[in-house]
Amino acid sequence: MDAYYNYLKSLHLIFVITWFAGLFYIVRLFVYHAEAKAKPEPEQSILIKQYQLMSYRLWYIITWPSAVLASTFAFLMLFGTHLGNSWLQMPWMHVKLGFVFVLYLYHWKCHQIFKQLQRGEVKHTSGFFRLWNEGATIILFAVVFLVILKDALNWIYGVVGIILFSVLIMLGYKFYKNIRERKQ
């Protein structure tokens, strides 16, 4: 299987990219869905029906298959090759796998929200979904820095940077929200 390692790695990366694309876009559709709930009829019904269809296709045709395939190729790299076994001994890989676990939790929560919206239940505001959308961004940054830097000191700085980046995103959102509310 070592001869196929670079093929596995390439396929893993392709499906990680499509998985994240699906996660980014599904939450954007959640924002639109929540905003459509405030529209008058018949616009509300038309928009919600369209967003449900778009979400359904994105979730089951792109996002879920990409998550499964990215995970399958990662598993094959880690447990089916000699190089993967040596990576499991490295501390940075343990931290990366921790972030991957958080990504699975994020995906699971998105699935719950997706199911609620498919049933017509809107339990969160568009503002909540805008902030929620940053979760995948933070996880992506953390994983990329860990994979590229690998060095213990550098990935610690990277993780601290991600936390500071997260705080800046939250502050930026609150600032934007205040400006938006003043204009109304």
Q: Where are the domains of the chain?
A: 2-183
Q: What gap in Å lies between CA 160 and CA 133, rounded to an integer? A: 20
**How many CA atoms, within 13 angstroms, populate the side-chain half-sphere of residue 43?**
7
| pLDDT at position 172 | 80
pLDDT band at 11 (very low <50, low <70, confident <90, very high): very high
Percent residues over pLDDT 70 in the chain:
94
Q: Residue 143 CB: number of other CB atoms within 10 A?
A: 21
Report the first-to-last Cα separation within the chain, whole angstroms: 61
Is residue 37 a known part of a binding site?
no
Q: Indicate yes or no: pTM above 0.75.
A: yes
Quote the DSSP letter at residue 38: T
Of 137, 127, 138, 134, residue with least CA distance to 175: 127
For residue range 107-134, list pLDDT tens digits in order. Answer: 999 999 999 999 999 999 988 998 899 8
| pLDDT at position 5 | 86
Is residue 33 a known part of a binding site?
no
| pLDDT at position 163 | 77
For residue range 29-74, list pLDDT tens digits in order. Answer: 999 999 999 999 999 999 999 999 999 999 999 999 999 999 999 9
Residue 142 has pLDDT above 90, yes or no: no
- Alpha helix segments (H runs only) across the chain: 5-36, 43-57, 64-80, 82-87, 91-118, 126-149, 152-183
Our measurement of the distance from residue 5's CA atom to the centroid of its chain's CA atoms, rounded to an integer in Å, reads 25
Q: Are 116 and 11 in contact (CB under 8 A)?
A: no
pLDDT band at 184 (very low <50, low <70, confident <90, very high): low
Give the mean model confidence (pLDDT) for residues 139-144: 86
